A = this chain, B = another copy of it.
Amino acid sequence: MATGTDSHTHPDALKSTIRGSGLKVTAPRVAVLEVLQHAPHSSAEQVFAEVRKTLSGTSAQAVYGILASFTGAGLVRRFDPPNSPALFECRVGDNHHHLSCVGCGLVQDVDCVIGEAPCLTPSDDSGFTIYSAEVTFNGLCRTCQATGSPATG
């Protein structure tokens, strides 16, 4: 970490973000946010494994709990692809969508086709109050198309 190639938020800013959502600032919480910045689209297990590298005493349940409270607070977004555990990312509020590879499970961000509102507004909301919209494109990534077999990643 000596070389300053960080396009990422500093720990202090992360703390403010957490506090700003009305949550107490703890080491595991900062670690979870850091992990999600470096590795978006991570599963709870993957986040757990990463967090343990720096905070070896952290439990899996803590990570599940942190991800749940962050999701509730709007700090992270949860995403449930088919045939995969839930994934988490900290890009929120920008109405972006996901490309999911059915071959290897790779998930990639895509910006919204339409722009803003239309993608968040169903034709008939049937009395629902909409909080968020999730758009997922299922397909085959470049590597899986080329090799005919799942890429490892």
Contacts and interface: CB of A to CB of B under 8 A. Distances in A.
Interface of A: 78, 80-82, 86, 97, 99, 101-102, 108, 110-114, 118-142, 145
B133 A133 contact: no
Contacts of A132: 137-139
Contact of A145 (B81, B129, B133): B129
B129 A121 contact: no
A7 to B, nearest CB: 18
A112 to B, nearest CB: 7
Contact of A99 (B86, B102, B122): B122
Given A130-B137, A137-B128, A139-B128, A113 B108 contact: no
A117 to B, nearest CB: 10
B126 A110 contact: yes
Given A80-B81, A142-B128, A110 B122 contact: yes
Contacts of A125: 99, 110, 137, 139
Contacts of A127: 141-142, 145
A126 B108 contact: yes
